[in-house]
Amino acid sequence: MQILEQEIKKSSLKSSKNVLEDGMVKAVVDVEREIIGLDAEMHADIERALLERGSSQDALWGINLWFDETGDNFIEFDSMINVRPRQNNRSRDVEDEKTREKIKQVVKKWVK
């Protein structure tokens, strides 16, 4: 697992330790602090690491990065940590379009 401190190339995601067979790496984005953690077996592991580093629970969203995909298919907004009725998000998906856009901006900032 790593919390990005510098940009990485999309191609370097392939060498992550926890790549699933179909070409996906789990990540968690902090939309307030504009940081991203990735490469763990579970989104909850990355979430915990970000919380320990001062992130707010409400700002953390789980995603999957499909490194062989491009455009809208690169980011999948699907994680159990996203189920939070108190924020009107009742599914594993990120339902709010503004939050989705913010996540895309943060990923674009860190993954080139």
10-residue mean pLDDT series, the chain (112 residues): 93 85 92 96 97 97 94 95 95 97 97 94
Q: What tokens appear for 79 in the block?
A: 């994680």
Q: How high is the pLDDT of residue 14? A: 86
Rg (CA), the chain: 13
Whether 3 and 37 have beta carbons less than 8 Å apart is answered as yes
Q: How high is the pLDDT of residue 18? A: 83
Whether 4 and 108 have beta carbons less than 8 Å apart is answered as no
Could you write out the DSSP letters of every residue in 5-58?
SS-B-GGGGGG-TT-BTTTEEEEEEETTTTEEEE--SSHHHHHHHHHHTT--GG
Separation between Cα atoms, residue 42 and residue 46, nearest integer Å: 7
Domain that holds residue 65: 2-110
Q: What tokens appear for 39 in the block?
A: 């490469």
Number of domains observed in the structure of the chain? 1
Tell me the pTM.
Answer: 0.94
Separation between Cα atoms, residue 85 and residue 99, nearest integer Å: 15
Q: How high is the pLDDT of residue 94? A: 97
Q: How high is the pLDDT of residue 17? A: 86
